[in-house]
Structure 1
Amino acid sequence: MEYLEFKITCSPSYREILIAEMAGIGFDSFLETEAGIDAYILPEELDRKDWEALIARYKEAAAVQVSEGVLPKVNWNEAWEKHYDPIAVADQVYVRATFHPSKAASFVHEIIINPKMSFGTGHHATTFLMLSWQLSLDHRHKKVMDAGSGTGILAIMAKKLGAKFVTAFDIDDWSVENGNENFEINGLVGTIMQKGTVRSVSKEKNYDLILANINKNVLLDELPTYAGDLSAGGLLVLSGFYEKDIPEIRKAAEEQGLEYRDKKCSKQWAAVLFSRTH
């Protein structure tokens, strides 16, 4: 299976923004390099008009330069082994790949991810923020939803924090396959990632905690469903948008009867906590 490969040089401060924007138009794999980003997409998934508009939007501000090629085969494990480093969230969680040595003795929790794409490994600010929120929230004996699960890292974290049940799903075949592989690696017996959206998958009622790290437009569209799926007193954590977008997200959430609680921000990205009061 051939992939289109785009080697992008850009200002360091724009790397995560560009990755998020490219993920939004179909790119499914990224490697950060010294010069910028290598990005990959299947030819049939690329909308040239959207791609050209994206590059034009950031070309001057981010000093973007692009070269395009074709990659016949990608050994993602080999590629990630060269570029992926473990991360620590506070002193509580150590996220590593299968090829890194364990540090379980030094951390309360260790999550093992077989990395196949950039989002969901903990390196992106939104995933890091979501993990940070999870560490401050009570998961014990709770019903948890992880919407847009990616690698499944948030669902894995939820189970390690004591959740009794986790519903996890994603719209991407590759994410579902990778997520279920990661569930098995981390010993999540009985937890299966489904393919679909919050409106189409099989799910419970009255979740105690919903986690959704997707993007602003999807979150705004699905907020009514999240609100309806929350129990009274339930919590909703949203991320995948910029700090400047918080007012818009907050307004939409409050229109659904949700109460703004707090926010965490990093590198222009935000993760916001809401609660359902009735």
Structure 2
Amino acid sequence: MAENIYMEYQFIVEPVQPVSDILIAELGEVGFESFVEEETGVLAYIQKGDWHEDILEGVSILENTDFKISYEAKEIEQENWNATWEQNFQPILVNDVCMVRAPFHEKKEIEYDIIIEPKMSFGTGHHETTHMMLQHILHLDLEGKTVLDMGCGTGVLAILASKRGAKKIDAIDIDNWCYLNSLENVERNGIHNISVLEGDASLLDGNKYDIIIANINRNILLKDIPKYKHSLSEGGVLLVSGFYRKDLPLISEKCHELGLRIEKNIEKNNWVAAKYVF
């Protein structure tokens, strides 16, 4: 089936950092949905149906003569992606209390054990933004709270919120593969209070949440933050990530216009995860 066919781009970059991070961010903006970081660069994946021959024209870093970037592209079947992922995916540990691992990894005695099989979805915890959002969630009081995980990817953030005591959680992603993958991972972790939905911020109409989590990208955040604010209960918390340090003033300005004040932000390798309160 065509939906199981992806285009794989192998990028060789010099220097690897920070070029790989910038490249991933720009590829995400033109439709690439999953990435594997390698010692020499990045593997990037996009569904064949979303791909076109000029897909890289909007990726400005490829034209930057200060960096050396080369690439090759090929079609890849879903099964081949799974093999690539299993070869590269190692468990991660967050704040010594939360482990994100694959089904084939040995279970450890730890407070929050999360099993994720991402397939083509974003959100294993390896990327800085996911890791920082997990850190934020570990420091929140979620007992009895209602939570929204917007752009849920694998569902890993929603799953941790449930394990931290959230009462009811909606996990939303516009990508069908992420929607299906989140359903699988929620079931895999034995969670029963997460509703996984396929769609965008229009699904928020009429809903209220104590905590809203959005790990997406700068442009979508700037567009949708007003909708998040409208769906946030008074005294609620908005966690956002998926952007660089240089973009924080833009995000904060938009939040400030809507009556949200920044309380804390975490930075890692130039990426930011910020906490705003209403």
Q: TM-score if structure 2 supplies the norm length?
A: 0.92
- Listed one character per residue, the Cα deviations across residues 128-186 of structure 1 (whole Å, up to 9, x for unaligned) are 01001111110000011111100001000100000000011100000000001000011
| Paired AA for residue 212 in structure 2 | I
CA distance in 2, matches of 1:79, 1:193: 27
Post-superposition shift, 1:47?
Answer: 4.3
Post-superposition shift, 1:49?
Answer: 3.7
User: Does the Cα contact within 8 Å between 2:149 and 2:170 map onto a contact in 1?
Assistant: yes
| Paired AA for residue 8 in structure 1 | F
The equivalent of 1:68 in structure 2 is 73
Post-superposition shift, 1:59?
Answer: 4.6
1:251 alignment partner, SS class: helix
User: Does the alignment pair 1:25 with 2:27?
Assistant: no
Q: Are the structure 2 counterparts of residues 190 and 118 from structure 1 closer, same or farther at C-alpha, using a change threshold of 3 Å? A: closer
Correspondent of 1:9 among 9, 12, 26: 12
Post-superposition shift, 1:72?
Answer: 4.6
Unaligned runs of 5+ in 2: none
Q: What are the within-5 Å matches in structure 2 for residues 250-265 of structure 1?
A: 250-265=252-267
The equivalent of 1:164 in structure 2 is 167
For these two proteins, the number of residue pairs brought into alignment is 273
CA distance in 2, matches of 1:161, 1:64: 42
User: Does the Cα contact within 8 Å between 1:167 and 1:203 map onto a contact in 2?
Assistant: no
Q: Are the structure 2 counterparts of residues 89 and 62 from structure 1 closer, same or farther at C-alpha, using a change threshold of 3 Å? A: farther
- Listed one character per residue, the Cα deviations across residues 71-105 of structure 1 (whole Å, up to 9, x for unaligned) are 355433322110111101110101001111111x1
1:151 alignment partner, SS class: coil
The equivalent of 1:144 in structure 2 is 147
User: Does the alignment pair 1:232 with 2:234?
Assistant: yes
CA distance in 2, matches of 1:83, 1:203: 42
User: Does the alignment pair 1:243 with 2:248?
Assistant: no
CA distance in 2, matches of 1:233, 1:72: 47
Q: What are the within-5 Å matches in structure 2 for residues 112-131 of structure 1?
A: 112-117=115-120, 119-131=122-134
User: Does the Cα contact within 8 Å between 1:149 and 1:169 map onto a contact in 2?
Assistant: yes
Post-superposition shift, 1:7?
Answer: 1.3
The equivalent of 1:46 in structure 2 is 51
Identity of aligned pairs, percent? Answer: 41
Unaligned runs of 5+ in 1: none
The equivalent of 2:99 in structure 1 is 94
Give the RMSD, CA atoms, in angstroms.
1.8
CA distance in 1, matches of 2:194, 2:214: 17
The equivalent of 1:77 in structure 2 is 82
Q: TM-score if structure 1 supplies the norm length?
A: 0.92
2:229 alignment partner, SS class: helix
Q: Are the structure 2 counterparts of residues 203 and 157 from structure 1 closer, same or farther at C-alpha, using a change threshold of 3 Å? A: farther
| Paired AA for residue 24 in structure 2 | I
2:59 alignment partner, SS class: helix
The equivalent of 2:217 in structure 1 is 215
Correspondent of 2:135 among 127, 132, 144: 132
User: Does the Cα contact within 8 Å between 2:169 and 2:193 map onto a contact in 1?
Assistant: no
User: Does the Cα contact within 8 Å between 1:59 and 1:65 map onto a contact in 2?
Assistant: no
